[in-house]
Structure 1
Amino acid sequence: MKATLALALLPLIAASPTPGTYPGFYYPPRPKPAARAPGLGDLAKKAGLKYFGTAIDNVALDNEKYTSIAFNRSEFNQVTASNGQKWVHIEPKRNVFNYTLGDQIVDASKDAGQMRRCHTFLWHNQLPDWLTTGNWTKTTLLGVLENHIKREADYYYGDCYAWDVVNEAFNDDGTLRKDIWLDIIGPSYIEHAFRFARKYTSPGTKLYYNDYGIERVNNKSRAVQALVKDFQTRKIPIDGVGLQAHFTVGRSPLYSDIRGAQQLFTALGLETALTELDVRLEVPGNKTAEETQARVYADATRACVDEKRCVGVTVWGKYTCSLYFD
């Protein structure tokens, strides 16, 4: 009975107007939603870069507005954990590893489908007390270094497009920075770190030397170039040099300076990246300073776009910028 009734009603249902419409009236099609504007990551890829990224610190993770942008792959298709993967957090006690802070950034970026530059295996700063106050010999400290790189590289195996293997090893005059690594191991600590990194990171991971103040051709950038040449002669692995690009309005390098500095390394077959780009200005700002700031961001990015072996730009911290990709 129910089936017969349903069949009898079918012609009436088919002839009835759809809800909210009336016969004899013209209903224009609904407008399509406006197309989403491409983000910086999209524009960077269109311009030939691998990525346009941002550094994220754990203290910003409770800001939903910030994280909705930072973990938006269209806006930033690469992420760097600005502090969570540094030694003081990863190995706070000898042979006790804690990946919590690093994971908060890495896991969220993986969920968002973003690339990662991992930062950093070896630095003179943000070291735990047990390390800086220990009674080490060259042999024992090398053992600590290898163990740290092995454990962290194994944990993040396959997660990182690149690792900053050694960070800020040089002074501005081109001499090596005096720290625990140089004092106890000697200059060879840098090559040991790169050899350990190649041994334990996943195949294809790019190994970087990363530093500030090398965005011009100067004593420091030439010292890094000499390090690279020496590594290549002795077949020590290195794939790239990161120019941190911490700039200040009124004292920032020119587009031509950045291009020249990159070519110290790209001419040797290495890739480069602007790894920590920010442009500071005094507050309160003014229109002129802000326009200069925007121009410096744009010129720095253009210097990477125009350099064939520059793979990407990462902005550092909670800085905002206006950029144009040609």
Structure 2
Amino acid sequence: MIIHLRMKQKIIIILFLVSGFFNQVKAQDSLRLYLGQIPDKYFGTSVADASNEAFFQTMYNLPGRTYTKRIIYNFNALTAGNEMKFYAIHPQPDGFALDNGDKLCDFGEQHGLHPRGHTLVWHAQLPSWLGAGNTGYENNNEYTRDSLLSILKHHITTIVSHYKGRIKEWDVVNEPFEGDGSLRKSIWQQVIGDDYIDSAFVWAHQADPDATLVLNEYGAEPWGTSKSNGMYNKIKSLVENGIPVHAAGFQCHATLGQSNFTMIKNNMERYHEIGVSCVITELDIRIPANQMGTQAAWDAQASDYVNYVKLMTETDYCHGIVVWGFTDKYSWIPAHTNYTAGEACLFNDLLNPKPAYYAIENYLKTYLGYDDIKQELKHKPFELITKYNELYIHLLDPGFKIKQTTLYNVMGQVVDAITNEQIVETNYTLNHLHSGIYIAIITDENNKNYATRFFKQ
């Protein structure tokens, strides 16, 4: 990481970010130029196959489409909404369907997004061959503890081993608690016992010792509720017994104006005290139907979204956020609520940013100190041209002498250093770069720096 803007360092990248890019942001908004300056944190989205913009069927391989650009420009983490759940990834007893997870990883690696695995063990969306019924509570195949443990171990070990080193964070166990804080009477709990959770984390850790392992739950976000206490007590017990659980996942499927951020922060703090991080894994903020389409509701939603982001940026307790879909066009909320709520995402159904998006953007600018930095470098003695897969510098001032051109990705990492002879008035090929946003720093013979950005298709 090259810079953290809290330091107010007036080096060239900062000057570029506040001048060259901000002037172009109306054409292509981007949160990633801010997110890249926040070390050890991520802000991601889930993706799924939906209608004409099915991510795993087509969009993963079409970076120029609006849907895909929204992902590339605005997020630095990625979760499969359904395609890595048990029924999808393990459709037959001895058959695994790993292609969609591979696509998730390929896309993430190409565009600098951190892939997350969701989810290894859940009572829902199980394959029919497992015989758990529609509820996930039945044992129609009459498994014994040992036989079901064998199936679970095979499932976890195969999947985590396959993605070892590529997926660095897993939702290992999903929604294991009832509302009263007791363990859900799923097929896993009834046949194996409460320690199916222990075994799942141990096997995931054995398959990839470097992966961050998460216990994920909904409705357990605020401190002090029965479900929240049940989840905390279970994770505390796992930690005390040496079970490798690293983070508490808070889904945060929220309703407008009903999130108690003080209580959520207090809950995160007690996990921090036992050495467990927190992550917001499935954030969306639904608006009741009778308030949808109103500026007042959108503004209130924007405030709620910013407060969730603050839980990540302004504490040491939370290391990431994933929004559960980024566009209202494919949000699960309307159908899930029988159309009594909706408009839960950062982008509307036309894939355009909503007030919540701009509120996050403005908050990040202020948090990172952009308001304190003057805009400079408005006039450049050259023109940077991108065409197809090539980069070209045309001199507007024939007397201008370039010593070197350095290319950075949006995370502030140097990806190439190019000499004058390679790029001035000649084509420099970009085959070695993935599709995405890049920053070019041009250094002249007097060591003065100029900057501009370009998008490599």
**TM-score computed with the length of structure 1 as normaliser:** 0.84
* Matches of 2:273 and 2:125, distance apart in 1: 33
Match of 2:31 in 1: 40
Deviates more, 1:297-306 or 1:316-325: 316-325
Deviation (angstroms), 1:238: 0.9
Question: Which runs of 5 or more residues in structure 2 are unaligned?
Answer: 1-18, 60-64, 133-139, 328-344, 347-355, 368-457
1:74-133 superposed Cα distances (whole Å, 9 cap, x missing partner): 421111111111110111010111112323322212211211111111011110011124
Match of 1:183 in 2: 190
Alignment of 1:196 with 2:182, yes or no, is no
Match of 2:452 in 1: none
1:209-264 superposed Cα distances (whole Å, 9 cap, x missing partner): 0111121011111111111221122111111111111101132x122122112112
Larger fraction in strand: 2
* Matches of 2:179 and 2:32, distance apart in 1: 32
Alignment of 1:293 with 2:301, yes or no, is yes
Deviation (angstroms), 1:45: 4.0
Match of 1:80 in 2: 79
Match of 1:134 in 2: 141
Alignment of 1:113 with 2:112, yes or no, is yes
* Matches of 1:49 and 1:282, distance apart in 2: 35
1:8-43 superposed Cα distances (whole Å, 9 cap, x missing partner): xxxxxxxxxxxxxxxxxxxxxxxxx93255832332
* Matches of 2:201 and 2:286, distance apart in 1: 32
Match of 1:308 in 2: 316
* Matches of 2:271 and 2:31, distance apart in 1: 26
Equivalent residues of 1:124, 1:179 under 8 A apart: yes
* Matches of 1:98 and 1:194, distance apart in 2: 22
Select the residue among 217, 222, 245 that pairs with 1:216. 222
Residues 199-278 of structure 1 mapped to structure 2, 5 A cutoff = 199-201=206-208, 203-217=209-223, 218-251=225-258, 253-278=259-284
Call closer, same or farther: CA 1:121–1:43 in 2, change over 3 Å.
same
1:291-314 superposed Cα distances (whole Å, 9 cap, x missing partner): 111111111111221221311111
* Matches of 1:126 and 1:134, distance apart in 2: 17
Alignment root-mean-square deviation, CA: 1.8
Alignment of 1:50 with 2:23, yes or no, is no
* Matches of 1:48 and 1:191, distance apart in 2: 31
**Match for 1:175: what amino acid?**
S
Equivalent residues of 1:49, 1:305 under 8 A apart: no
Secondary structure of 1:275's aligned partner: strand
Call closer, same or farther: CA 1:310–1:45 in 2, change over 3 Å.
farther
Equivalent residues of 2:105, 2:167 under 8 A apart: no
Deviation (angstroms), 1:47: 4.1
Equivalent residues of 1:58, 1:104 under 8 A apart: no
**TM-score computed with the length of structure 2 as normaliser:** 0.61
Equivalent residues of 1:48, 1:305 under 8 A apart: no
Match of 1:20 in 2: none
Aligned residues: 290
* Matches of 2:36 and 2:232, distance apart in 1: 28
Secondary structure of 1:272's aligned partner: strand
Deviation (angstroms), 1:279: 0.3
Match of 2:432 in 1: none
Match of 1:17 in 2: none
Deviates more, 1:161-170 or 1:302-311: 302-311
Equivalent residues of 2:257, 2:304 under 8 A apart: no
Secondary structure of 1:35's aligned partner: helix
Match of 1:104 in 2: 103
**Match for 1:172: what amino acid?**
G
Secondary structure of 2:20's aligned partner: coil
Secondary structure of 1:54's aligned partner: strand
* Matches of 2:40 and 2:306, distance apart in 1: 15
Secondary structure of 2:194's aligned partner: coil
Equivalent residues of 2:220, 2:227 under 8 A apart: yes
Question: Which runs of 5 or more residues in structure 1 are unaligned?
Answer: 1-32
Call closer, same or farther: CA 1:49–1:296 in 2, change over 3 Å.
farther
**Match for 2:188: what amino acid?**
W
Residues 277-288 of structure 1 mapped to structure 2, 5 A cutoff = 277-283=283-289, 284-288=292-296
Deviates more, 1:43-52 or 1:295-304: 43-52
Equivalent residues of 2:253, 2:285 under 8 A apart: yes
**Match for 1:76: what amino acid?**
F
Deviates more, 1:129-138 or 1:37-46: 37-46
* Matches of 2:98 and 2:39, distance apart in 1: 34
Deviation (angstroms), 1:48: 4.5
